[in-house]
Structure 1
Amino acid sequence: NPEKAIYNRTSYESWLNFGGGDLILNGRSGSCSKCNYEKVILDKKKIFIAEQVEIFKVQISTESVKKKSQVMEIERKSKRAKLSR
């Protein structure tokens, strides 16, 4: 599922999430389970401590950044509307 390849949830800003849960890294700790990728990433360990993490390339499409900024603007407007009531 290409939509779940790599994403970052706004509620977990520091988490790096691959496959919508297949591999989650939060600082040095991580978890792994079969969710959206064709094959499981780690066979034996569900939760682990990462000694080293090497990222080769992270590419963010301008379209996803544009959508996220639009969502954030809508949320800001919604909060302002609630405060002004």
Structure 2
Amino acid sequence: MAIQALIDAASRLAAEAGTEPPAKYSDIPRALAQLGVLEAALLRRTIGFRNVVVHGYGALDLGLVTEILDKGLYWDLLKLARRGG
């Protein structure tokens, strides 16, 4: 849910900045990078992870999920949201 909220906020930010609203989620990182709002790499990976979890695009790597939880990497979402805001 946190990733989806971040995607929605990023999409709205891109639209309010006067760009064409991104047609698909994968366009959002590029649009924000072009605006100079943030580096696209982390947001792109986050969107990709969400797509795997939600839509089953590829196999979910439980080792990666464990690493995200064990190392507190989910806090990167908060860092990303703060950079974009």
Greater share of strand: 1
**Structure with greater Cα Rg:** 1
Shorter chain as denominator, the TM-score bin is: under 0.3
Greater share of helix: 2
TM-score scaled by length of structure 2:
0.23
Where relative contact order (Cα < 8 A, 6+ residues apart) is larger, the structure is 2
TM-score scaled by length of structure 1:
0.23
